[in-house]
Amino acid sequence: MTTRREFLEQGAATIAALAVPALARAATPRFAELKARPARVQLAPPTYPKTEIWGYDGAMPGPELRMAQGARIQRSFLNELPQASSVHWHGIRIDNAMDGVPGLTQPAVEPGQGFDYDFVVPDAGTYWYHAHNRSTEQVARGLYGALIVEEPEAPDIDREEVLILDNWLLDPETAQIDPDFTSRHDRSHAGRRGNFIATNGRFDLSLDVKQNERLRLRLINAANARIFVLSIFGMEGWTVALDGMPLSEPKPVSEVLIIGPGQRADLIVDVTAASGETAHLVRVEDQEGVSQVAFPVSGRAAAARRGSPHPLPPNPRMDISGMEKAVTARLNMQGGAMGTLDAATLDGERKSFRQLVEANQFWSFNGTIGMTDTPLVSVPVGETIKLEIYNDTSFPHAMHLHGMHFREVTKDAALGPFRDTLLMFGGETRTIAFVADNPGKWLFHCHMLSHAASGMMTWLEVT
């Protein structure tokens, strides 16, 4: 009898024997390159050595991709990493073949190989791109960047800043990235949480402003697992968009702003602090405020303070109709430390929780761990899907849907803002709805990347 393992090893040997050595480099790229490669950057304070990262074009964050609404992105991705990779364009209602999910929408791009991404961006807003193969490792090493799609008519602001928030796990002596990306503790608890927080790769980001200046802040949470709880100080602000999509009414930033991994928030803020003072984007931790980004104020803008901002123009095709006849599905999330999971199906076999722990797999969706050949829901294009999600775990999860935006259906049957990532706390049941108007195979997973790697991943099919 051949065990599964022996079988796989035999298979590997045969393939290796047959393999033609790969050419070092594919033909000249068709489009502008986006090259994933190792690099060294000064991430920790200057008294520390530089940190080895992986970055797009060797930078961290990668180059900002900025274009007009409706424009076409064409990029030849080249992989100069020591492992296979792919690029996912988070939040874009994209052509499925360009979504960048190895095994579902494309093969992983092997080292030395490339892949041409070519798609249209239908929606204005704040998006981002990041590696989508072995994401726990690749995103933690720095493979991400902002993808900004501009409204045809710019809002009335003086300037804008893109702020990518991340939380790194660094060795406290050498400032190198902790290479244990499969930590059992991280997987079974709140994910890979770091010890070093940065914005745009800087721990001390400081942006000079003037009193009365009106800024648009595009916040992107690129952290593996950290939920950023933010507030503003010395500024008055409004949230104008979430996950790229405009709110119908700007919402004053009065209390804290909670941004889960993968989520974005666009703020319009007016600097109210006087010249000589410093305004701050503040991280709220244990009732204390810690500066995330400093905005030293010098001088005063020529214009007087404006009234509250207008809403951003809505993106096209955003209505949700057909709620009465929606296809409904339920997703039960279980597992993790201090959870209720005592058995689940892994690779087609029923496993006890103890066996799951041995396999370093911890989270189940409807009793199954990770991806299978069966989608959670399969509908013809145009159908409305209503998904009731129960977080029967002790941890928060940031559930991200690829390819489409959804709205939360609140208890009183009202619809929340359009989002692509839903942050859910332990014990919560939340319902989302969306029109499945984008054909293809779409991932639905937790953006706490250690959770995605240890079970929290499923997919939907729109045919």
CA torsion angle 255 233 448 78 (round to 10): 140
Near Cu ion by CB under 5 A: residue from 162, 224, 451, 453? 451
The stretch among 158-166, 183-191, 384-392, 442-450 that binds ligand C2O (CB under 6 A) is 442-450
Q: What are φ and ψ of residue 348, in 5° steps?
A: 80, 0
Q: Tokens at residue 355, please?
A: 């066996």
Instruction: Verify binding: residue 88, ligand C2O, rule CB under 6 A.
Output: yes
Position with the least CB separation from ligand C2O: 90
Near Cu ion by CB under 5 A: residue from 326, 446, 449, 460? 446
The stretch among 38-46, 383-391, 409-417, 441-449 that binds ligand C2O (CB under 6 A) is 441-449
C-alpha distance from residue 344 to each of 101, 166, 244, 340, 397 (Å): 25, 33, 36, 11, 19
Q: What are φ and ψ of residue 354, in 5° steps?
A: -65, -40
Contact of 325 with 385, CB cutoff 8 Å: no
Near Cu ion by CB under 5 A: residue from 397, 402, 405, 407? 397
Instruction: Verify binding: residue 262, ligand C2O, rule CB under 6 A.
Output: yes
Question: Of 187 and 216, which CB lies nearer to Cu ion in the complex structure?
Answer: 187
The stretch among 43-51, 76-84, 322-330, 395-403 that binds Cu ion (CB under 5 A) is 395-403
Q: Using DSSP bridges, classify how beta strands 159-168 and 214-221 pair: parallel, antiparallel or unpaired.
A: parallel
What, of Cu ion, ligand C2O, none, does residue 260 touch, CB below 5 to 8 Å by kind?
A: none
Q: Which residue has the tokens 């989302």?
A: 432
Instruction: Verify binding: residue 448, Cu ion, rule CB under 5 A.
Output: yes
User: Closest approach of Cβ 88 to ligand C2O, in Å?
Assistant: 5
Instruction: Verify binding: residue 90, ligand C2O, rule CB under 6 A.
Output: yes
| Residue 369-408 contact track with ligand C2O, rule CB under 6 A, x = bound | -------------------------------x-x------
Scan residues 189-208 and list those touching Cu ion (CB under 5 A).
none
Question: Of 192 and 445, which CB lies nearer to ligand C2O in the complex structure?
Answer: 445
* Site size for ligand C2O (CB under 6 A): 10
What, of Cu ion, ligand C2O, none, does residue 90 touch, CB below 5 to 8 Å by kind?
A: ligand C2O
Query: Which amino acid makes up residue 404?
Result: M
Near ligand C2O by CB under 6 A: residue from 130, 216, 280, 451? 130
Contact of 461 with 401, CB cutoff 8 Å: no
Residues at the interface with Cu ion (CB under 5 A): 397, 446, 448, 451
Binding positions for ligand C2O, rule: CB under 6 A: 88, 90, 130, 132, 262, 400, 402, 443, 445, 447
